[in-house]
Amino acid sequence: MAGSKRVRYGRDVEGFLADLPPSTNRYTYEGKERFEEIANIEYHRLQRSLCHLQSEPFDDSLDISEYFVIIIDPPSFQREFSLKLNVGVRQFYNPTLHILILKIVLLEHPEVAGLLHDIVMDTLRPMGFDIEAIRRYGGTSISVGGGITKQPDWGWGPRRRPPGVANRPSVVVEVGTLAETKLRNDARMWVDPTSGEANMAITIKVNRQKPMIKIQTWEWDSNARCPYITQSCVIEKTGDDITVSKHPLTIPFHYIFRRSPENPKETDIRLQKQDLIAIGTGAWAMQEL
């Protein structure tokens, strides 16, 4: 029986880590000082890999991981993991499996999330909303069921929540540069009503080698009981020409505020072609592409 439990536990661990790139390193937690050292080692390893990637012909299948894994028990995690590091990370912790997945925050993550946030706020101001109307959830630990917590790259929810609504993002944003499978599975988790409970997840895949960004929105199909892509857009620059494959991209008003509009000014947020181009050009300027 004990052997059966170990096999099942091992399978559960591998299942939880299945969508990470094969090159993702795993460590056992040995204190804050060692963790800081590991985080810096992983950050510099990733930077060296990215420099090599930029010097090679385009190959989006190269096995480079922006993630690393720490094995840590729940008491240690709860006691010590309000860590402030020189290396920015996003956390995804499963206390049952003692597994902490950490995503290294590259420059693209806050840049693209920030550009999107600014556009959303510019759209909301004419409706009579200021910055205090929206609660932001970038890097906030959110319970996603079974004691598991995850930090999104960004997210929004109403500061004044309807009665009975928990303090959690109603629309979530995840940004990725390498592991698209993990990005997509994170989106699926966020819109699942048994875990993330978000009305919408927005994934933004930023290419590291050429000026191209793919934005997708995800929602939950209550009839089929599964997540699905509702909108997909590619922003790409070739020479001096920028193309946008689909526009506008819409974030329904009630998805963010968890209520229906109350006056004619309160409308859905629509990211027009020029907004999507602004996200692209801002990211590419930072990337020097």
Q: What is d(CA 175, CA 154) in angstroms, rounded to the nearest whole number?
A: 9
Percent of the chain surpassing pLDDT 70: 91
Q: Which pLDDT does position 169 carry in this prediction? A: 97
Nearest to 275 by CA among 86, 118, 102, 135: 118
**Average pLDDT taken over every residue of the chain:** 89
pLDDT band at 156 (very low <50, low <70, confident <90, very high): very high
Is the pTM higher than 0.85? The answer reads yes
Mean pLDDT is lowest, of 10-19, 163-172, 191-200, 214-223, for: 10-19
Q: Which contiguous run of DSSP H or E holds residue 32? A: helix 32-55
pLDDT on residue 4: 44
211-222: pLDDT as tens digits: 999 999 999 999
- Residue 73: phi and psi, rounded to 5, are -75, 155
Average pLDDT of span 63-77 = 91
Residue-range domains of the chain with CATH: 2-104 (no CATH), 108-287 (3.90.1570)
H/E element, 275? helix 273-287
> In this model, does residue 252 exceed pLDDT 90?
yes
As a whole-number percent, the residues of the chain with pLDDT over 90 amount to 71
pLDDT digits (tens, 9 = 90+) for 7-61: 455 688 888 898 898 889 999 999 988 998 999 999 999 988 888 766 665 454 4
Res. 172: pLDDT tops 50: yes
C-alpha closest to that of 253 among 187, 189, 200: 200
pLDDT for 87 equals 65
- Report, in angstroms and rounded to the nearest whole number, the Rg of the chain calculated over CA atoms: 20
